[in-house]
Amino acid sequence: MSRPFDLLIRDGLVVDGTARPARPADVASDAGRLTVLPPGSGAAAARVVDAGGLVVAPGFIDAHTHSDGVAILDGGRDRELVRAAVLQGVTTEICGNCGSSLFPALPERLDAMRAEAEISFGGDVGAYPDFAGFAAAHAAVPRINHLVSLVGHGTLRAGVVGPVDRPVSPAELRTMCELLDRSLAQGAAGLSSGLIYAPGTYADTGELVALAAVAARHGKPYVTHLRDEMSRVEEALEEAVEISRRSGAALHVSHHKTAGRHGWGRTARTLPRIAGLRAGGMDVTCDVYPYTAGSTALAAMLPPWANDGGLAALTARLRDPEARDRMRLAIAEGVPGWENTVGNGGWDRISVACAPRHPTAEGRTIAELAAAAAADPLDVAADLLVAERGEVTIISHSMVEEDVRRVLAAPYAMIGSDGVPKPGGRPHPRWAGTFPRVLGRYVRELGLLSLEEAVHKMTRLTAMRFGLAGRGVIRDGAHADLVVFDPAAVADRATFTEPLLPPSGVAAVIVGGVVVVRDGEETGARPGTVLTP
Ligand SMILES: [Zn+2]
């Protein structure tokens, strides 16, 4: 056959995603599909990327993002928030995590959902009745890389019963199951829950079992931000195991961590527990990001009842001095079943990441702000939330390195950034640095993982978990999503003060056979699509 390939990546060292040893090979793409050729093939191609001295790997699949709305907000204008993922080599993002997606909802709830999403995402990103509506909205916006979405349980609950602190009725639960079933049939990749967040936290185990059973019927996983990742992380893991057992759904634990002074070191117990379940035949996996700090909403530092009714109800409550005192007491004494981040760590570990009306607060801890104002930290946090309509992103310095390394090394742990791309502020650097950080720090510098193992955790392992056939692997016929990087130079540069700095050492990124990044710069191509497992 003499017809040239669309693209040839020649003389690279292929790390194919399966964890098999790297080998020299040429990799060609034609109509978006790969052909693996012997090294020095001399094959003809319309475009050639010289990968001498470089690694050629499947494009990274980010197992865990909150990028549900960022491309819609960006509108194809190619700002740095949207670019950050692909400059790392991420060719597929999995959003809809932690119980939060932009669908589904009953028609009569859509306006309220859209208004809440506008506050959380920092702009109008819409709210959609089902996965098809969400996918159509994204299809209308040029994308660099691919997007996959889970169905968020919190969104589903708010979309049927509203953001309220009460059990669901049997009829409401049936409606939730129907909406979930429809979106999964349309192509959503699984069910996610976020059991520290309102309104997901108001669900009992039985509600989650009923919904996870719907995912199980579609052969799709139950993905969960556990009800507690601190002092009661082991009980929270057992709840997730029970949901998986009773529903029949595969279990995926999101951003596994054991945080706060009572949680440090507990991965020495949670990981052997997961390994034991796997040895017993249970399908359970997790994802992890390579940082000792987390990032979430400031409102999640408050007891569940404070968030009952949504953001407007929260801010009304925060204006009431008596309600503030009850929150102060709840943080000091704890509430059964509630992960109390501040009680487990302290306001000195919570720094403001994004507060658009208070840029001078960004980068400072709540404790520092309180000391400067000679005020109580809870009052500082409450005043900030009121002024920001309930939406403030924080960074929580809550973990220890030993736990992060233990989870990274677990063979069933895949890499997920947990990136929260929102305009303004100083977001957690994980959105721009996760994948190069694993390859630079944990593979090259610390030797915690081999290059082949690390790439497997970023590609094939994730594709298998989320049902992405023909992705995350370099072999004949696979989708032509690729990253080419320098194993001696790849490193993250994003920091807590400069959180969107692109990494070094990423030479080329290819999506669907089209070069989207070359020598660290975007080419302007937009071949990305919404994928359905
Ligand atoms: Zn989460």
Q: 76 falls in which pLDDT band (50, 70, 90)?
A: confident
- Is residue 20 a part of any domain in this protein? no
Q: Residue 29 C-alpha to ligand 1 middle, in angstroms? A: 36
Q: How confident is the prediction for the chain on average, in pLDDT?
A: 96
- Is residue 488 a part of any domain in this protein? no
Per residue in 232-286, pLDDT (tens digit) is 999 999 999 999 999 999 999 999 999 998 999 999 999 999 999 999 999 999 9
Q: Which of 364, 397, 430 is the last residue of a domain?
A: 397
Going by their DSSP bridges, the two strands 90-95 and 60-62 should be labelled as parallel
Q: Residue 98 C-alpha to ligand 1 middle, in angstroms? A: 4
The residue type of 59 is G
To which residue do tokens 């009745």 refer? 129
Is the CB of residue 64 less than 8 Å from the CB of residue 462? Answer: no
Q: Residue 395 C-alpha to ligand 1 middle, in angstroms? A: 13
Query: Are 412 and 451 part of one and the same domain?
Result: yes
Q: What is the three-class DSSP state of 511?
A: strand
Q: Residue 525 C-alpha to ligand 1 middle, in angstroms? A: 31
- Is residue 228 a part of any domain in this protein? yes
Q: Residue 17 C-alpha to ligand 1 middle, in angstroms? A: 26
- Is residue 78 a part of any domain in this protein? yes
Q: 79 falls in which pLDDT band (50, 70, 90)?
A: confident
Q: Residue 334 C-alpha to ligand 1 middle, in angstroms? A: 21
- Is residue 423 a part of any domain in this protein? yes
Q: Residue 200 C-alpha to ligand 1 middle, in angstroms? A: 12
- Is residue 506 a part of any domain in this protein? no
Q: Residue 163 C-alpha to ligand 1 middle, in angstroms? A: 18
Q: Residue 187 C-alpha to ligand 1 middle, in angstroms? A: 22
Task: Please report the pLDDT score of residue 102 as a whole number.
Answer: 98
Query: Are 119 and 191 part of one and the same domain?
Result: yes
Task: Please report the pLDDT score of residue 57 as a whole number.
Answer: 98
Query: Are 283 and 338 part of one and the same domain?
Result: no
Query: Are 416 and 464 part of one and the same domain?
Result: yes
- Is residue 355 a part of any domain in this protein? yes
Boundaries of domain holding 147: 60-296+399-469
Query: Are 109 and 177 part of one and the same domain?
Result: yes
Distances (CA, A) of 493 to 78, 379, 383, 463, 490: 20, 35, 34, 27, 10
Query: Are 177 and 322 part of one and the same domain?
Result: no
Q: What percent of the chain lies above the pLDDT cut of 70?
A: 99
Task: Please state the domain count of the chain.
Answer: 2
Q: Residue 250 C-alpha to ligand 1 middle, in angstroms? A: 18
Q: Residue 453 C-alpha to ligand 1 middle, in angstroms? A: 24
For the cut 90, the answer to whether the pLDDT of residue 75 exceeds it is: no
Query: Are 291 and 205 part of one and the same domain?
Result: yes
Concatenated DSSP letters of 132-183? HHHHHHHHTS--SSEEEEPEEHHHHHHHHH-S-SSPPPHHHHHHHHHHHHHH
Neighbours of ion ligand 1 (CB under 5 A): 98, 225
Distances (CA, A) of 102 to 7, 76, 413: 36, 19, 26
Q: Residue 292 C-alpha to ligand 1 middle, in angstroms? A: 14
Per residue in 484-496, pLDDT (tens digit) is 999 999 999 999 9
**Rounded to whole angstroms, how far apart are CA atoms 24 and 14?**
6
Per residue in 325-362, pLDDT (tens digit) is 999 999 999 998 899 999 988 999 999 999 989 999 99
Q: 78 falls in which pLDDT band (50, 70, 90)?
A: low
Q: 423 falls in which pLDDT band (50, 70, 90)?
A: confident
**Rounded to whole angstroms, how far apart are CA atoms 93 and 511?**
12
Lowest mean pLDDT across 99-113, 165-179, 418-432, 484-498: 418-432
Q: Count how many residues are written for the chain.
A: 533
To which residue do tokens 């590609």 refer? 459
Going by their DSSP bridges, the two strands 33-37 and 23-30 should be labelled as antiparallel
Q: Residue 295 C-alpha to ligand 1 middle, in angstroms? A: 9
- Annotate 290-321 with three-state secondary structure: CCCCEEEEHHHHCCHHHHCCCHHHHHHHHCCH
Query: Are 220 and 290 part of one and the same domain?
Result: yes
Going by their DSSP bridges, the two strands 251-253 and 45-50 should be labelled as unpaired
Query: Are 208 and 71 part of one and the same domain?
Result: yes
Query: Are 411 and 349 part of one and the same domain?
Result: no
Cα torsion 189, 194, 197, 203: sign: positive
Query: Are 271 and 322 part of one and the same domain?
Result: no
Within a 10 A sphere around the Cβ of 323, how many other Cβ atoms?
17
- Is residue 249 a part of any domain in this protein? yes
Q: Which of 447, 469, 491 is the last residue of a domain?
A: 469
Q: Residue 66 C-alpha to ligand 1 middle, in angstroms? A: 9
Q: Which of 430, 448, 469 is the last residue of a domain?
A: 469
Query: Are 353 and 432 part of one and the same domain?
Result: no
Domain containing residue 247: CATH number: 3.20.20.140
